[in-house]
Structure 1
Amino acid sequence: MSDPQHEQPAQLEPMPDDWRRALAVVAHPDDLEYGCSAAVAAWTDAGREVAYVLATRGEAGIDTLEPARCGPLREREQRASAAVVGVSEVEFLDHEDGVVQYGPALRRDIAAAVRRHRPELLITLNHRDTWGGVAWNTPDHVAVGRATLDAAGDAGNRWIFPDLLDQGLQPWDGVRWVAVAGSSSPTHAVDAGPGLDRAVASLLEHRTYIEALTKEDPESYARALLTGYARAAGERFGGRPAVAFEVFSR
């Protein structure tokens, strides 16, 4: 009889790769760079299209900068960060940082983005209350992650948010998977090795935020953090550095 305490965790499956377009929807600048952008680099290298949509400009994220100055700065850093991993389309939905509310307004905005970009793969960040155990998640992450999961279906239903039709946004029911980064229950992974250096460079574009967050050397901080995440995920992916996702099929 096996001992549950000594059972090895299940190996992660390779991510589906029969798609051409992906849309990543998150709450703040830097959300994608903390562990997900190595996968984005690999996808754009392979000729796939990836676009970013951010609910806020992260204007409440730096204590020493008032929102009116912080928001534009973090937007510039996000655009530069996205470019490092081959992403040129970056949109902002202008919800208020720190108090993003889950509900029809947020679902509508994300559904509209899905209809505009028509992705087969939709990506978001952990929508659960914690990061696993007692590490509490933020309300913005929870709201945007949950709304993104819901918007995958909203985008395909012409009778939900019918005003989007007046804007020329036809229903899109082509989302085949929603991949959640930062989940404590991952199911799939992408080899992070080829994109890891660019993921570090991408995170470093958020230099103002990093310098406010830690006194460590920014490059040492970014490399140690992302390498650690990739190594931990790789323990369930044949020993290769990896980016892990919890994948919901549709």
Structure 2
Amino acid sequence: MTDRLEPMPADWQRALAVVAHPDDLEYGAAAAIASWVDGGREVAYLLATRGEAGISTMEPARAAEVREREQRASAAVVGVSSVEFLDHRDGVVEYGPALRRDVAAAIRRHRPELVVTLNHRDTFGGTSWNTPDHRAVGRAVLDAAADAGNRWIFPELAEQGLPPWEGVRWVAVAASPRPTHAVEAGPGMERAVRSLLEHRAYIEALTDADPETYVRGFLGRATGDTAARFGGRAAVSFELFPR
């Protein structure tokens, strides 16, 4: 695939990144987020779960504590201080009105112009099956971007002090097999590496490799694979849905 990726829009001030688990943003998107924060933009994180089912050697209650702490430290590395959790159950997140309502409420609260999420499609490029949580959360985010601006959908949110927000201009899907846009990874890459390394308990349970070697290898491949479509520059790719 050689179609050129367009640069991501730059005329915005606030973004909300909504994903299923701790570490979802750090597997690539964090390099872009670091660059955005450097440019003076505001970015907040919203996670559907605390990742409590993600470490097989650790009981869920303990894993939730560890992974929340790691996520907050990870976000701080790239300059993000607002990290919220919805407490849907890890591994069995359900797409539906409840999840859409929770995400729409966060959009109304944070009032972003750009919403970021993770690949909602069935596969990562056709060979690696996506997880149910990623699919559910990604689809809910795409729908909630519209729900947030509709006064007749979830009217109870307005009663709770969250009036409609019609200001979402784009939803950007990271790690999509159908990317359309990209952000150069270089300026934020070192912080992206350190950000993912903050998820040390998760990484050490995932692989026997040296954590830094693993992280640099993964992020280097992920951003390097995009270079051919972005002027030879390593980049974080997104599928952009204008609104």
Q: Calculate the TM-score normalised by the size of structure 2.
A: 0.99
1:1-250 counterparts in 2 under 5 A? 9-250=2-243
Q: Partner letter of residue 50 of structure 1? A: V
Map Cα deviations across residues 134-183 of structure 1 (whole Å, 9 max, x no partner): 21000000000000000000000011001101110010010000000010
Give distance in 1, aligned partners of 2:197 and 2:128.
Answer: 24
Q: Partner letter of residue 192 of structure 2? A: A
* Structure 1 segments (4+ residues) deviating >2 Å: none
Give distance in 2, aligned partners of 1:29 and 1:227.
Answer: 20
Please report how far the alpha carbon of residue 117 of structure 1 lies from its aligned counterpart in structure 2 after TM superposition: 0.3
- 1:3: which partner in 2? none
Please report how far the alpha carbon of residue 133 of structure 1 lies from its aligned counterpart in structure 2 after TM superposition: 1.4
Q: Partner letter of residue 170 of structure 2? A: W
Worse overlay, 8-17 or 182-191: 8-17
Q: Partner letter of residue 122 of structure 1? A: V
Please report how far the alpha carbon of residue 88 of structure 1 lies from its aligned counterpart in structure 2 after TM superposition: 0.2
Please report how far the alpha carbon of residue 202 of structure 1 lies from its aligned counterpart in structure 2 after TM superposition: 0.1
Give distance in 1, aligned partners of 2:73 and 2:29.
Answer: 16
Q: For the Cα contact (< 8 Å) 2:2–2:228, is it kept in 1? A: no
Give distance in 2, aligned partners of 1:133 and 1:155.
Answer: 32
Give distance in 2, aligned partners of 1:184 and 1:194.
Answer: 24
Q: How many residues are matched?
A: 243
Please report how far the alpha carbon of residue 206 of structure 1 lies from its aligned counterpart in structure 2 after TM superposition: 0.1
Helix, strand or coil for the counterpart of 1:173? coil
Give distance in 1, aligned partners of 2:126 and 2:96.
Answer: 26
In the alignment, structure 2 segments of 5+ residues that lack a partner are none
Helix, strand or coil for the counterpart of 1:31? coil
Give distance in 2, aligned partners of 1:164 and 1:80.
Answer: 31
Helix, strand or coil for the counterpart of 2:226? helix
Identity among equivalent positions (%) equals 74
Give distance in 1, aligned partners of 2:210 and 2:125.
Answer: 28
Give distance in 1, aligned partners of 2:220 and 2:34.
Answer: 15
In the alignment, structure 1 segments of 5+ residues that lack a partner are 1-7
